[in-house]
Amino acid sequence: MRRRFVTLRKKPLRFNAPRRSNSGLIVFANSVTNAHRREVIELAARHRLPAIYDFRYFVAEGGLASYGHSPVEQYRQAAIYVDRILRGAKPAELPVQNPTNYELVINLKSAKALRLTIPESFLLRANEVIE
């Protein structure tokens, strides 16, 4: 399986890789993809590429699906750490914590536009289904 990476360097965004029957995108959020998320979502739709993102806000704006930790929960945990430090805990002694809750969000409108049928078992596992 060949992997192709798309770099977002200048506008307009372009995707030059040929579409294969089993193609898709995994889009990781960072400062570039966040700044250009509308264009990334439109690019995937234009090329009829199913894409999965790591945050819900990509799906709310038209992306197909997301699976990742909740930023709200991450901020809540950070606030707990700040509270513990302000109460005298040494930062070096605090345990490293990984996310424990992950969200699966599916956009059925995007799935329909891509002519994808999402299995009922997958929809039942989703935390949120956007119609």
Q: What's the rounded mean pLDDT across residues 86-104?
A: 91
Residue 60 lies in a domain: yes
In the chain, the number of structural domains is: 1
CATH code for the domain of 35: 3.40.50.2300
Q: Which two tokens stand for residue 43?
A: 């690019």
Summarize pLDDT for 3-51 with one digit per residue, the tens.
555 555 555 555 565 566 678 889 998 888 888 899 999 988 988 889 9
Terminal-residue alpha carbon distance, the chain? 33
Task: Return d(Cα 60, Cα 77) in angstroms, integer.
Answer: 24
Q: Which domain range does residue 111 map to?
A: 25-70+101-130
The CA-based dihedral angle spanning residues 68, 38, 30, 77, taken in that order and rounded to the nearest 10 degrees: -40
Residue 46 lies in a domain: yes
State pTM to two decimals. 0.75
Residue 80 lies in a domain: no
Residue 49 lies in a domain: yes
Residue 9 lies in a domain: no
Q: Given this model, what pLDDT does residue 32 score?
A: 85
- Residue 119: band (very low, low, confident or very high) from pLDDT cuts 50, 70, 90: very high
